């Protein structure tokens, strides 16, 4: 691409879980001839619908969605795989004169595309991973995550302490290369004309929406969904089933926790998750146009995007 050739636009919608990204993205894509690429790592997996608050079939029929239901729960989608697939979809949409919308709350997946990351070229070390997994089981995932915090505080802030797979990967890269995981991702100037929208709500309002969503998950059959996954042979130790909601539901099914205890824990952990999401996208970031979610947000967001496209 020559320096004078204009960059193709990419609309990015970020914000904490339950803020309202899905509906706003669908409305905007409908109006702006767009399609949605999900950047939420929980939505990759088939059969995991209720616990991930996956867009409904009706919602996905309104606008084409990509990178949802693309893997079974026992498959691993790495950051590199996501980046490759997302870039290919974006390029195809742009060639078809469609406006791509990259939407989600998983910060590193968003940044891998917008900043053209080059993931660390450290090949998996099965023996090291097995050792770290054994340590995690013996001392707990939290203990292992604290060791990561000592070595690389930035990565620790960005990785959920319960996400053992990502914690182990970060440690694997550090031990193999001798450098911090957070400094090796690398970035370059984006190849896109980025139009980034950040969505926010007052914290009490956001927490109320989270609580309502969790209550609704149980009403809609979260326990049955998880029971079905386990009956199909998916092991509860799978990284995909360590997502918020699934671990708690498994504990309920194993009579290790009551439903009410599960709800309380899910609400607490989701609040921690929201704060971790904020480490990726900060309100003082000059590259993000923030919108308070209210009745006028859709109109204001559409005006902003059209102005940036002009």
pTM: 0.83
Across residues 77-98, what is the average pLDDT?
93
| CA dist list (Å): 193 to 88, 212, 288 | 16, 36, 13
How confident is the model at residue 161, as a pLDDT? Answer: 82
Structural contact between residues 254 and 223, judged by C-beta atoms closer than 8 angstroms: no
% of residues, the chain, pLDDT over 70: 95
Across residues 94-116, what is the average pLDDT?
92
* pLDDT tens string 222-258: 999 999 999 999 999 898 998 999 999 999 999 999 9
Q: Coil, strand, or helix at residue 195? A: strand
Q: In terms of DSSP H, where are the helices of 117-160?
A: 126-139, 141-151, 153-158
Q: Which residues contact 106 (CB under 8 A, 6 or more apart)?
A: 39, 40, 41, 42
Q: What angle do CA 283, 286, 287 make, to 5 degrees?
A: 100
How confident is the model at residue 241, as a pLDDT? Answer: 93
How confident is the model at residue 1, as a pLDDT? Answer: 45
**Tokens 């509860």 sit at which residue?**
236
Domain residue extents for the chain? 8-119+186-309, 126-183
Our measurement of the distance from residue 32's CA atom to the centroid of its chain's CA atoms, rounded to an integer in Å, reads 24
% of residues, the chain, pLDDT over 90: 67
CATH H-level superfamily of 8-119+186-309: P-loop containing nucleotide triphosphate hydrolases (3.40.50.300)
Structural contact between residues 169 and 128, judged by C-beta atoms closer than 8 angstroms: no
| CA dist list (Å): 229 to 46, 57, 181, 215 | 10, 20, 33, 20
Using the predicted structure, report yes or no on whether residue 4 has a pLDDT greater than 60.
Answer: no
Using the predicted structure, report yes or no on whether residue 187 has a pLDDT greater than 80.
Answer: no
* pLDDT tens string 203-214: 999 999 999 999
CATH 3.30.70.270 holds for 126-183:
no
How confident is the model at residue 2, as a pLDDT? Answer: 45
Instruction: Report which of 199, 191, 196 is spatially closest to residue 12, judged by C-alpha positions.
Output: 196
């Amino acid at each position: 691409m020559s320096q004078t050739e204009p960059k193709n636009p990419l609309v990015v919608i970020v914000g904490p879980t339950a803020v309202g990204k899905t509906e706003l993205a669908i409305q905007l894509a409908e109006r702006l001839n767009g399609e949605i690429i999900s950047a939420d790592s929980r939505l990759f997996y088939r059969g995991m619908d209720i616990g991930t608050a996956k867009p409904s079939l009706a919602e996905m029929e309104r606008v084409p969605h990509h990178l949802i239901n693309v893997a079974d729960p026992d498959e691993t989608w790495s950051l590199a795989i996501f980046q490759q697939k997302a870039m290919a979809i974006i390029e195809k949409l742009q060639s078809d004169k469609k406006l791509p919308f990259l939407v989600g709350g998983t910060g590193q997946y968003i940044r891998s595309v917008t900043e053209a990351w080059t993931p660390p070229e450290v090949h998996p070390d099965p023996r090291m991973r097995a050792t770290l997994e054994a340590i995690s089981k013996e001392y707990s995932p939290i203990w292992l995550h604290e060791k990561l915090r000592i070595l690389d505080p930035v990565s620790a802030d960005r990785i959920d302490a319960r996400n053992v797979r990502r914690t182990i990967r970060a440690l694997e890269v550090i031990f193999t290369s001798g450098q911090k995981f957070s400094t090796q991702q690398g970035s370059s100037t984006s190849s896109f004309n980025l139009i980034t929208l950040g969505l926010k709500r007052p914290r009490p309002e956001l927490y109320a929406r989270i609580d309502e969503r969790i209550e609704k998950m149980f009403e809609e059959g979260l326990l049955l969904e998880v029971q079905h996954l386990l009956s199909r042979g998916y092991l509860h130790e799978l990284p995909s089933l360590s997502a918020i909601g699934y671990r708690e539901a498994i504990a309920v099914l194993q009579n290790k926790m009551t439903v009410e205890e599960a709800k309380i824990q899910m609400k607490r952990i989701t609040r921690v998750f929201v704060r971790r999401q904020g480490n990726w996208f900060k309100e003082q970031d000059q590259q993000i146009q923030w919108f308070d979610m209210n009745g006028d947000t859709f109109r204001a967001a559409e005006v902003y995007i059209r102005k940036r496209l002009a």
